[in-house]
Amino acid sequence: MAQFFYTILEQPLTNALIFFYNTIAFQDLGLAIIFLTLAIRLVLFPFFHKSARQQTVMQHLQPKLKAIQEQHKSDRAKQTEAMMALYREHEVNPFSGILFLLVQIPVLITLYYIFLKSLSPETFAPALYSFVHLPETFNATFLGLINLGSRSILMVVLAALAQFFQSKLAMPKRADPNAPLSTQEQIARNMVYVGPALTIFIFFNFPAAVSLYWLASSVFSIIQQIVINKSLVKNGTLGNISKNTG
């Protein structure tokens, strides 16, 4: 199993990282990590985009779900049936957020394992394909300012802030700010703050290289979320949800 993950994840990611380092990253490991992040997100874009879109629609469906829960509060079977019908109507999967995390976790663990080693040419040499050149010297910094082999509070905080803004973008504006929140709405709004707090807690002792990956991925998610929000408004999806909810 270890050899399997080495072959399909660690070795390809290591080679892509060194390839970017040798070429468009100008031998800056931080820039190489950003280009690697972009490559990962582009390869997995269809999945990430669909998951993020469904999560946004789910957030806007919360008032409708609350109404269903109140309407069928004495009958759990009818409540579940009505909720599933609503999901089918809007073509969303309530578990898409979990699937989104499950896809990211193996990549994150692999990158952590790669960057946990000594960041030197000798460390990466055994994993390189024959056509990927091993650099003679290695600049394990980001713009010459941050040592990516050590922890960086700045990188962790920036990663947490980026995640916070991405989560805020996915949250719908409330028609009535004084109306009570449903349990699901309260959980969703709490996660806007819990997610970044967990990021700080988890990444605090990680090498800055991992935090930079998470920061770059979150910035990509922010741009993607802006595009998704505009798309959902343009095609009338959010408007239809609001009308049905009203």
Give 128-183 pLDDT, tens digit per residue: 999 999 888 888 899 989 999 898 999 999 999 999 998 888 776 665 566 666 66
> Helix 183-203 to helix 62-71 angle, to the nearest 10 degrees?
130
Kindly report the three-state secondary structure assignment for every residue of the chain.
CHHHHHHHHHHHHHHHHHHHHHCCCCCCHHHHHHHHHHHHHHHCHHHHHHHHHHHHHHHHCHHHHHHHHHHCCCCHHHHHHHHHHHHHHCCCCCCHHHHHHHHHHHHHHHHHHHHHCCCCHHHHHHHCCCCCCCCCCCCCEECCCEECCCCCHHHHHHHHHHHHHHHHHHCCCCCCCCCCCCHHHHHHHHHHHHHHHHHHHHHCCCCHHHHHHHHHHHHHHHHHHHHHHHHHHHCCHHHHHHHHHC
135: nearest Cα among 31, 19, 33, 36: 19
Give the model's confidence band at 11: pLDDT under 50 very low, under 70 low, under 90 confident, else very high: very high
Are 73 and 79 within 8 A, CB to CB?
A: yes
Q: What is the pLDDT of residue 35?
A: 96
Give the model's confidence band at 18: pLDDT under 50 very low, under 70 low, under 90 confident, else very high: very high
Tokens of 202: 């988890």
185 pLDDT above the threshold of 70: no
| Rounded CA separation 21/132 (Å) | 11
Residue 224: HSE in the Cβ half-sphere, 13 Å Cα cutoff: 26
Q: What is the pLDDT of residue 28?
A: 93
| Rounded CA separation 127/5 (Å) | 13
Q: What is the pLDDT of residue 178?
A: 64
Give the model's confidence band at 246: pLDDT under 50 very low, under 70 low, under 90 confident, else very high: very low
Q: What is the mean pLDDT of the chain?
A: 83
| Rounded CA separation 157/203 (Å) | 9
76 pLDDT above the threshold of 80: yes
Q: What is the pLDDT of residue 73?
A: 80
Tokens of 244: 């049905």
Residue-wise pLDDT for 201-213, tens only, equals 989 989 999 999 9
Q: What is the pLDDT of residue 237?
A: 63
CA torsion sign, 224 to 226 to 232 to 235? negative
| Rounded CA separation 240/88 (Å) | 15
